[in-house]
Structure 1
């Protein structure tokens, strides 16, 4: 572990030095100025109790972010002081996604985001427009950046092949009763982003994306295990049979399911043995209001006899 940490440190130091040489002192100064502005605007978006003040700050945030990204070589600037935005870069370094949310007074959220492509020339940026209220069948809908099923992404998984695509894990929030998480698909057609693809195969059905909903006071594991090409997640269950049609009451039942990558598609697997799943220290994203996983009265599913 120490050797890996040392190597990582030197790689970061080398990357930082190369970036500084590319952008120059003036460009770096400009990006740091923009970062400071974004940091303060982000704090207003999250902490201000006034709904109009949050939305006005978000409007200024978007304008400032776009201006910052127009700075040459901005793709390699980490914006690591802006804690209110989740910034995730694809492992192949082809693009990165900025995603964040603004809370509404009724406990719901609206999501905002942008895809920045890595280019040697002018900025190539796709704004993401949250279309959630108008999407009636989220798991069976394909859209573009103007009809986005908004979420805040923390993991990007590249799937290479004849038609390459990326799987993204994200936190979606929902309302004052329940929270959602999503397994999303992003591809590029004609250099334009497309969200959703029928690559999830399970329970006799193909889905364009996977959406989970559960009680707001609960927390849910959703992570990627690279060594097994496996997305693993808590199995969600109602507290009793009477609540089976009320996903806002669901919570983890201490068993686990997953999707495993096979021949370019993701095959559903239930009752995973977590003892065989290594802890890769993947980042997970939960509602920041939650500090610990609450106890649940959900029944534990018994494993099937092989």
Structure 2
């Protein structure tokens, strides 16, 4: 049960930009106090009693977070006590994105989020994210922050092409009692405002080319696990190829990995599909990661990982956060 999970959140990217101003002593003290309030509310969102209690905590959390972020130079405050809120930074630290989830008693989820920009004067520039994923049938969209496909982001990969920055977002959606989802999409900024999605996932080099996608979403069995992340060694996005274990392809909740892997390689400002990553001739000890049944007790609402991550992590050790 997700409510019994031990949560951990790893801030992967330190702030290294030219805007290194920190809050003054009074501002820092205020942010510490605000963080204590937000920590209590975030726990209620995650593990409060009933839908009403969790929703009430959410309604209090959002304005409390905004008030805290209005403190000058709040971008430099890590909010690292908010264990049930994922906070991700791109390599250039030009923004950070907060995301969190509210689980309903039905086992369905609603997501919340906001993008805070790293402003040169330390003042707040915030884009709230409005989850519309429950109300759309076409997920292959290009949309702004008011039509966001809600999820918990767990990684950001930045690429530069023709004087523009491209931020690839990796997200997880616990979805419903029968299935979960992972997604990858592009975030760009047009006239200073965020745009989610775009025709950046190309299948032009496949043996049978298909139209580009604005985002990739994989859905699979709740008790299973699937990889969808950037692999530094391969310098590409890697994800599991999924099949229905009951030979019912229309039922996504029956999908599991068939131990084959696909990917995307960055070429000419797009992620270009690679149909098969690992081939027969794999050096000894360098094989593809083998999916294993997911230990639900290790599952994290803010740091979703695949089975190979659990296999390689040191036992009984908590990840260490990199300080801002």
Change (3 A) 1:288 1:234: same
1:179 aligned partner: 180
- SS of 2:174's equivalent in the other structure is strand
CA distance in 2, matches of 1:107, 1:287: 15
Are 2:198 and 1:193 equivalent residues in the alignment? no
1:232 to 238, 242, 249: 238
Q: CA deviation at 1:276?
A: 7.2
Shift of 1:164: 2.9
Q: Which residue of 1 aligns with 2:77?
A: 77
Q: CA 1:277 to 1:236, structure 2 compared with 1: closer, same or farther past 3 Å?
A: closer
Instruction: Report the counterpart of residue 26 of structure 1 in structure 2.
Output: 26
State the partner residue of 2:272. 267
For 1:252 and 1:85, how far apart are their aligned partners in 2?
28
Count of aligned residue pairs for this structure pair? 271
Farther-moved stretch of structure 1 (155-164 vs 33-42): 155-164
Pair 217,240 (structure 1): closer, same or farther in 2 beyond 3 Å: same
In structure 1, the gaps of 5 or more residues are 1-10, 279-285, 295-306
Which residue in the other structure is 2:217 paired with?
211
Q: Residue 229 of structure 2: which of 223, 232, 236 is its match?
A: 223
Deviations 1:226-270 (A, max 9, x none): 3443011111111132x1221111011222111111111111112
- Counterpart contact for 1:150–1:172, Cα < 8 Å: yes
Task: Provide the rounded CA distance (Å) in 2 between the counterparts of 1:194 and 1:292.
Answer: 28
Shift of 1:287: 4.5
Residues 135 and 149 of structure 1 are in contact (CA less than 8 Å); yes or no, is this contact kept in structure 2? no
**What is the RMSD computed on CA atoms of the aligned residues?**
2.6
| Structure with larger RCO (C-alpha < 8 A, sep 6+) | 2
More helix by share: 1
Which residue of 241, 256, 268 maps to 1:251?
256
Distance in structure 1 (CA, Å) of the matches to 2:84 and 2:95: 20
| TM-score (norm. length: structure 2) | 0.78
Give, in angstroms, the shift of residue 42 of structure 1: 0.7
Tell me, in whole angstroms, the C-alpha distance in 1 between the residues paired with 2:53 and 2:67.
21
- Secondary structure at the aligned position of 1:32 is classed as helix
Shift of 1:204: 1.3
Q: Deviations over 1:135-179 (max 9, x none)?
A: 21112x111000000111111111211243211001012111100
Residues 1-306 of structure 1: pairs in structure 2 closer than 5 A = 22-121=22-121, 122-139=123-140, 141-162=141-162, 163-202=164-203, 203-241=209-247, 243-273=248-278, 275=286, 287-288=299-300, 293=307
SS at match of 2:99: strand
